[in-house]
């Protein structure tokens, strides 16, 4: 007889597809900056400000989303978030002024994507996996890279051949198309399907049914998220993780993700070629993130973070010399390396949050750490656009980000080892140290 796959893998599949769908619109800004500038005359700084709002909300909603998932379930939150992303991206085709760009592209889509973000990774792995947590974290995190891989060449082709409106509609339809899969396969807890987490040794109770509901904590979701933040805000480990992850966001989503395509175009490279290179980053990101998850199960996460940030900083310092009208071997090398390193930082960061703050508060703590990631990304997205307007090039942005990566290396290596094999629980489980 065939052995049916464990429900945890079906849930992980649904989470992966949801992250792919959400990634589509986040990939669009880098190839729409110049078309919007050409049609409306809006400055790159203004358009970058909309990207910054999107990135900030994508991060700041994250810890509250983790609390919402705890209270209302992953399935409801993710489905509603995808509907919000699809609505926001679809309505952009009707905008006529820059404030509408800020509202739709920034606020609406930023809120929708933030309601999933990488807190979905932390929540899903904490509930559904005892074994293979690092590997699954890497696979789910690669969902964002896969979304970039799928959508960037399509968005660039549609924007070049038909216009940016058609590109936005394509992304909206893709996000909405993921909703049925989420409703079909995503489940909130193993008890919902009368099973246990993957790798758990517990026996399923006879009373467990698909209708069993997980316990709901007292208090609202927002209050829960704020309580966790208040408990860990003075925790040295939390501050070091948040600081390093802010630099991670600045050097990926904020800088490369938003400005690589227009920067390459400044040097004569066609939009479709530059977008394909960024999509290729997504291909190697999948490989790098899954490998990082595998390594996180075997190597000290602090050491992994230090290596990742050091190598990333060196690559950014070299990037200004690699741009050219055609893709030369050094640029291929940069794309491959940066893809492998892109979000390889996520699995070790999730692991450190889980080790230090426990399975209950860990996903919400990671939500706040991820919020710092997006704040850093937002600052970098706006600053790089403004620098391009004032200086005529992005060079200062690449060099500055390379220097910040050195600082992130130092911060990562200064994180102390967890005081015991038992995680330090936050908020509900005891005081932080």
* Rounded CA separation 234/232 (Å): 5
Residue 29 in contact with residue 275, Cβ under 8 Å? Answer: no
Q: Walk along the chain (433 residues) and give the pLDDT tens digit of each residue.
A: 456 778 888 998 888 888 887 776 666 776 777 788 888 888 877 887 887 888 788 777 877 787 788 788 888 999 998 888 888 888 888 888 888 888 888 888 888 888 887 678 878 888 888 888 778 877 887 776 667 667 777 887 888 888 888 888 888 888 888 889 888 888 888 888 888 888 876 544 444 433 334 444 444 556 777 888 888 888 999 999 999 999 999 998 889 988 898 899 899 998 888 888 887 887 788 888 888 888 988 889 999 999 999 999 999 999 999 999 988 999 999 999 888 888 789 889 988 888 888 776 777 888 889 888 888 988 998 899 889 888 888 999 999 999 999 999 999 999 987 655 444 433 334 434 3
* Rounded CA separation 257/221 (Å): 31
> pTM of the predicted model, to two decimals?
0.69
Q: What is the pLDDT of residues 344-391, one digit of tens each?
A: 898 899 888 888 887 767 778 888 898 888 889 889 988 998 898 888
Residue 415 in contact with residue 352, Cβ under 8 Å? Answer: yes
| Cα atoms in the 13 Å half-sphere on the side-chain side of 349 | 38
CATH for the 7-191+221-427 domain, from 3.40.109.10, 2.40.50.100, 1.20.1250.20, 1.10.150.170: 1.20.1250.20
* Rounded CA separation 238/258 (Å): 27
Question: Which of 167, 157, 155, 168 has the alpha carbon at shortest distance from 109?
Answer: 168
Residue 163 in contact with residue 35, Cβ under 8 Å? Answer: yes
Structure tokens at 63: 């810890």
| Mean pLDDT across the chain | 81
Residue 81 in contact with residue 25, Cβ under 8 Å? Answer: no
Question: Which of 274, 264, 275 has the alpha carbon at shortest distance from 152?
Answer: 275
Return the H-helix or E-strand segment holding 337: helix 329-341
How far, in Å, are 65, 88, 117, 156, 429 from residue 81 at the CA level?
10, 11, 10, 25, 29
Question: Which of 96, 94, 78 has the alpha carbon at shortest distance from 18?
Answer: 78
In three-state secondary structure terms, 223 is: helix
DSSP secondary structure string, 233-284?
Answer: TT-HHHHHHHHHHHHHHIIIIIIIIHHHHHHHHHTT--HHHHHHHHHHHHHH
Boundaries of every domain in the chain: 7-191+221-427
SS3 string of 61-127? HHHHHHHHHHHHCHHHHHHHHHHHHHHHHHHHHHCCCHHHHHHHHHHHHHHHHHCCCCHHHHHHHHH
Residue 18 in contact with residue 74, Cβ under 8 Å? Answer: no
Give the rounded percent of residues in the chain with a pLDDT score beyond 90: 18
Return the H-helix or E-strand segment holding 172: helix 164-185
Structure tokens at 313: 């900083």
Residue 153 falls in which region: left (phi positive, over 0), alpha (psi -120 to 50) or beta: alpha
């Amino acid at each position: 007889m065939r052995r049916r796959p464990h429900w945890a893998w079906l849930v992980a599949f649904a989470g992966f597809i949801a992250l792919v769908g959400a990634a589509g619109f986040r990939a669009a800004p880098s190839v729409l900056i110049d078309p919007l500038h050409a049609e409306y005359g809006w400055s790159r700084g203004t358009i970058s400000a909309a990207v910054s709002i999107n990135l900030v909300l994508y991060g700041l909603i994250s810890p509250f989303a983790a609390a919402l998932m705890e209270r209302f379930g992953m399935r409801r939150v993710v489905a509603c978030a995808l509907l919000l992303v699809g609505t926001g991206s679809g309505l952009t085709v009707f905008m006529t002024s820059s404030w509408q760009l800020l509202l739709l592209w920034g606020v609406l889509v930023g809120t929708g994507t933030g309601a999933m973000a990488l807190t979905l990774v932390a929540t899903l792995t904490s509930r559904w996996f005892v074994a293979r947590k690092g590997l699954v974290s890497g696979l789910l995190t690669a969902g964002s890279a896969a979304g970039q891989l799928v959508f960037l060449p399509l968005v660039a082709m549609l924007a070049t051949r038909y216009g940016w409106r058609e590109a936005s509609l394509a992304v909206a339809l893709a996000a909405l198309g993921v909703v049925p899969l989420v409703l079909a396969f995503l489940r909130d807890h193993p008890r919902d399907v009368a099973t246990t987490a993957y790798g758990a040794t517990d026996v399923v109770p006879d009373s467990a049914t698909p209708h069993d509901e997980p316990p709901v904590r007292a208090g609202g979701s927002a209050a829960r998220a704020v309580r966790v933040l208040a408990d860990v805000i003075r925790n040295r480990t939390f501050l070091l993780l948040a600081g390093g992850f802010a630099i991670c966001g600045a050097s990926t989503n904020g800088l490369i993700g938003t400005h690589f395509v227009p920067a390459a175009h400044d040097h004569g490279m066609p939009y479709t070629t530059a977008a394909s290179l960024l999509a290729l980053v997504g291909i190697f990101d999948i490989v790098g993130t899954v490998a990082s998850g595998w390594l996180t199960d075997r190597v000290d996460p602090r050491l992994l973070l230090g290596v990742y940030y050091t190598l990333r900083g060196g690559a950014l310092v070299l990037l200004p010399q690699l741009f050219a009208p055609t893709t030369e071997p050094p640029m291929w090398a940069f794309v491959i390396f940066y893809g492998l390193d892109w979000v390889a930082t996520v699995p070790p960061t999730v692991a450190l949050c889980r080790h230090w703050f426990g399975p209950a508060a860990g996903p919400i703590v990671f939500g706040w750490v991820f919020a710092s990631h997006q704040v850093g990304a937002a600052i970098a997205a706006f600053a790089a656009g403004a620098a391009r307007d004032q200086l005529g090039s992005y060079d200062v942005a690449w060099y500055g980000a390379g220097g910040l990566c050195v600082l992130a290396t130092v911060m990562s290596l200064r994180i102390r080892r967890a005081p015991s094999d038992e995680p330090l629980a936050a908020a509900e489980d005891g005081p932080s140290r």
